[in-house]
Amino acid sequence: MAKIKGDILVNVERCKGCEVCIAACPSATIAMSKEVNGKGYHFAMKINNDCTGCMNCAIVCPDGVITVFRGKVSE
C-alpha cells in the first residue's frame, strides 16, 4: 500500500546548528550531526525514516536551510 512520506534536504554549509528544528519536529526525525560543516557548526540531519513532511522544521529554521519533500512511497 502506498504511504505518504516526507524527506528533508539540509543545506549543510548554511546550517548554524541552533537546534530549533529539533524542538519543532513532532516525529523526532532530526538530530545534530557529530561532524561539523565548513564554519564549525554541527548541522541538522535526518536520523530515521519517520518524517511526514509536515514542514515544521523548515518553517522555524531561522536561516531557511531545510527543503521539504512529500510524496508517495510504495512499501
Partner 1 sequence: MQEPFVKTEIRKDENIVYKRTDLLVDRPLSYCPGCGHGVVHRMLMETLEEMNIQDKTIGVSPVGCSVLAYDFMNIDMVGAAHGRAPALATAIKRLWPNRFVFTYQGDGDLAAIGTAETIHACNRGENFTIIFINNGIYGMTGGQMAPTTLPGMRSSTSPYGRDVPTMGHPLRITELIANLPGVYYVTRQAVHTPSHVRKTKKAIRKAMEQQKENKGIAFVEVVSNCNSGWKMTPVQSNIWMEENMFPFYPLGDIKVDGKLIQSSEIAK
By CB under 8 A, name the binding residues for partner 1.
5-7, 9, 12, 14, 16-20, 22-24, 33, 35, 41, 45-49, 53, 55-56, 58-71, 73-74
Query: Rounded distance, CA 39 to CA 51, Å?
Result: 27
Residue 66 C-beta: closest distance to partner 1, Å: 8
| 46 half-sphere exposure, CB direction, 13 A CA radius | 17
Greatest C-alpha distance within the chain: 43
Residue 9 C-beta: closest distance to partner 1, Å: 7
Residue 10 C-beta: closest distance to partner 1, Å: 9
Between the two ends of the chain, the Cα-to-Cα distance in Å is: 6
